[in-house]
Amino acid sequence: MNNLEFSQEPQSALNFLNNQWVKGSGIKFDIHSPYTGEAIGHSYESTSSDLEMIVESAKNAFTTWSQTPMKERTKVMFELRRILLRDIDKISNLICIENGKIFSEAKAEVMKGIEVLEFATSLQNSDSMTKMEVSRGVSCEYRREAMGVVASITPFNFPAMVPMWTMPIAITLGNTYVWKPSEKTPLTAISLANAFKEAGLPSGVLSVYQGSKSSVEAIINHPEINTISFVGSTKVAKIVYDQASRKYKRVLALGGAKNHIILLPDADPMISGKGISDSFTGCAGQRCMAASVLLAVGKVDHLLEKIIERADSHHLGEGMGAIISKEQVDFLNSAIDKALSEGATLLYDGRDKTIPTTGGYWFGPVVLDNVKTDSYVATTELFGPILSIIRCDSISSAMKIENANEYGNACSVFTSTGSLAEKVISRAKAGMVGVNIGVPVPREPFSFGGIAASKFGHGDITGTPSLNFWSQLKKVTIKWESQSDENWMS
Ligand code: NAD
């Protein structure tokens, strides 16, 4: 098992207001570690009057922060990077304890957050706005301006990375930012907010507003919050997108996924075995980029062996982390029962792997074969280490199945033939496509974002396409002197 350090003292996830930690005014609730099932701390629901104080503070901070030169705002981000790298082990340990993932996965999540932070530090040099003389004596220019008080609502499965997708960019662009972490993983917010404070972020620029559904509703209903990003399940993404858009807010809501992998007989056995196996078992399948359906085209049994070999090599608590809750473990078991009753067969069942003696919530990897195209496991996001194999006789039939799925986050193909890979790239119904990559998450500055029911709203959540979400362009046309040769612009 990971050598995790559990704090002896129960930890308290509070709201971050004016760079201080203050208790939410709602009811107290426990935070459980998936590693042990034990309470490791507590948090409090927040009320709309708590949000009132946070927004007031964010509004006041906006006046100064949005007028602070970009290069000065960026200095805070450089310092933040130093602090996060210094504290990376401590933060990763906390992520493991409250989320259940293994240490290397937690560290990778913080590193991805730092990569977005690095992208944000590059804006001072790369995002210079265009200015040109459009007719004699008349110039036009773009000025990028911050939106104001913005909010971000995040899920449990990446307690550091998902908020770090948006915080560095939105804050560097001059916004003041209200973060609502998942109530299942609210502790990581303490480390991140403290790091921003230590880096010199002025009071009120970042606030943390803890709680669950009612906190999200308060954010949607607050008239001073004009921009909201959401990452979580499609069910809630639709609610947030719908309700916040009705209030004329700018919204980008990323939802769930059902990612397909197309496996062709000429795939490299080592690359496909590791790539596909790690994709569905990594983070115990609790990531929106995890492989879920394997479209096995033709004779690929020799490749399936490698996938299973790799999945079988993981020990729970070492190579694979825990599941967020007992309810989720029960749900995964019931999904497998359902698949079997619908005609699927068990190709590999890792549920009998040894469970760590610490208690907690565990689920070994499972590979289902002969899964029916329209069955429950083939169409529902399960969010666990289950791979459903659908046998296909051609790439075209595989692509038909992939295209029919409601979501559109990721799709990958494993092959050694460029033209076949190109076929999949051009036909896939997915915002992020991979060739011989199990988890095709783009690296910055290439942006992250799906399509279809995996994303509601325009643009992506990171990279260059995110800039126009977190800011607005002012178009300025200037003439200082009267000119002799007048034209229609004069
Ligand atoms: P979730 O939708 O249950 O919760 C996400 C956020 O919404 C949390 O902050 C939660 O407090 C809030 N919330 C929950 N129910 C709500 C309701 N009825 N009304 C308003 N707010 C509500 O998601 P989760 O279980 O925390 O995370 C897992 C899901 O997130 C999966 O579906 C996964 O695919 C998705 N996800 C997507 C991406 C992506 O980039 N597309 C990334 C990570 C996770």
Residue 442 Cα to ligand 1 midpoint, Å, equals: 21
In the numeric block, which tokens belong to residue 164? 């770090």
Q: Assess whether 245 and 310 both reside in one domain.
A: no
Model pLDDT, residue 240:
98
Residue 395 Cα to ligand 1 midpoint, Å, equals: 33
Q: Assess whether 391 and 290 both reside in one domain.
A: yes
Q: Is 156 in the pocket of ligand 1 (CB under 6 A)?
A: yes
Q: Assess whether 151 and 56 both reside in one domain.
A: yes
Q: Quick: pLDDT tens for 137-167.
A: 899 999 999 999 999 999 999 999 999 999 9
Question: Which atom belonging to ligand 1 lies closest to the Cα atom of 449?
Answer: 40
| CA separation for the pair 44, 23 (Å, rounded) | 7
Q: What's the CATH code of the domain at 86?
A: 3.40.605.10
Amino acid, res. 110: V
| CA separation for the pair 196, 176 (Å, rounded) | 13
Q: Is 457 in the pocket of ligand 1 (CB under 6 A)?
A: no
Q: In the annotation, is 288 catalytic? A: yes
Residue 316 Cα to ligand 1 midpoint, Å, equals: 25
In a domain, 5, yes or no: no
Helix (H) and strand (E) counts in the chain: 14, 21
In a domain, 72, yes or no: yes
Nearest residue (by CA) to ligand 1, atom 36, is 232
Q: Quick: pLDDT tens for 67-109.
A: 999 999 999 999 999 999 999 999 999 999 999 999 999 999 9
Phi then psi for residue 290, to 5 deg, are -70, 145
Give the range among 5-19, 246-260, 282-296, 473-487 with minimum mean pLDDT: 473-487
Q: Assess whether 318 and 429 both reside in one domain.
A: yes
Q: Is 239 in the pocket of ligand 1 (CB under 6 A)?
A: yes
Q: Quick: pLDDT tens for 344-393.
A: 999 999 999 999 998 999 999 999 999 999 999 999 999 999 999 999 99
Residue 325 Cα to ligand 1 midpoint, Å, equals: 15
Give percent of the chain with pLDDT exceeding 90: 94
In a domain, 3, yes or no: no
Burial class (CB in 10 A: 0-12, 13-18, 19+), 397: middle
Q: Is 449 in the pocket of ligand 1 (CB under 6 A)?
A: no
- The answer to pTM > 0.95 is yes
Q: Quick: pLDDT tens for 195-205.
A: 999 999 999 99
Q: Which of 158, 184, 212 to mutate to test the pocket of ligand 1 (most atoms within 8 A of CB)?
A: 212
Q: Which of 156, 185, 219, 454 to mutate to test the pocket of ligand 1 (most atoms within 8 A of CB)?
A: 156
What residue has token string 């790690």? 278
- Quick one: CA torsion of 17, 157, 164, 247, rounded to 10 degrees? -70
Residue 388 burial (CB count, 10 A): 30
Q: What's the CATH code of the domain at 417?
A: 3.40.309.10
Q: Assess whether 248 and 263 both reside in one domain.
A: no
In a domain, 44, yes or no: yes
Q: Is 166 in the pocket of ligand 1 (CB under 6 A)?
A: no
Half-sphere exposure of 62 (CA within 13 A, CB side): 20
Q: Assess whether 309 and 160 both reside in one domain.
A: no
Q: Assess whether 418 and 466 both reside in one domain.
A: no
Average pLDDT of the segment spanning 122-139: 90
Q: Is 369 in the pocket of ligand 1 (CB under 6 A)?
A: no
| CA separation for the pair 307, 27 (Å, rounded) | 46
Q: Assess whether 43 and 70 both reside in one domain.
A: yes
Pairing relationship of beta strands 366-369 and 345-349 according to DSSP bridges: antiparallel
Model pLDDT, residue 488:
59
- Classified as helix, coil or strand, 343 is coil
Decide if 288 contacts 453 (C-beta within 8 A). Answer: no
Question: Which atom belonging to ligand 1 lies closest to the Cα atom of 212?
Answer: 11
Averaged pLDDT of the chain: 96
Residues 6+ apart with CB under 8 A from 309: 273
Residue 255 Cα to ligand 1 midpoint, Å, equals: 7
Q: Assess whether 458 and 392 both reside in one domain.
A: no
Q: Is 179 in the pocket of ligand 1 (CB under 6 A)?
A: no
In a domain, 449, yes or no: no
Q: Is 162 in the pocket of ligand 1 (CB under 6 A)?
A: yes
Decide if 24 contacts 12 (C-beta within 8 A). Answer: no
What residue has token string 């825990």? 322
Q: Assess whether 181 and 54 both reside in one domain.
A: yes
From the list 96, 140, 283, 288, the catalytic residue is 288
Number of domains in the chain: 2
Nearest residue (by CA) to ligand 1, atom 8, is 182
Q: Assess whether 313 and 341 both reside in one domain.
A: yes
Residue 235 Cα to ligand 1 midpoint, Å, equals: 8
Is pLDDT of 489 > 80?
no
Domain, as residue range, for 83 = 11-255+454-474
In a domain, 480, yes or no: no
Residue 155 CA from chain centroid, whole number:
8
In a domain, 148, yes or no: yes
Q: Assess whether 344 and 223 both reside in one domain.
A: no
Alpha helices in 185-258 (DSSP H): 188-198, 213-221, 234-246
Question: Which atom belonging to ligand 1 lies closest to the Cα atom of 255?
Answer: 41
In a domain, 143, yes or no: yes
Residue 241 Cα to ligand 1 midpoint, Å, equals: 13
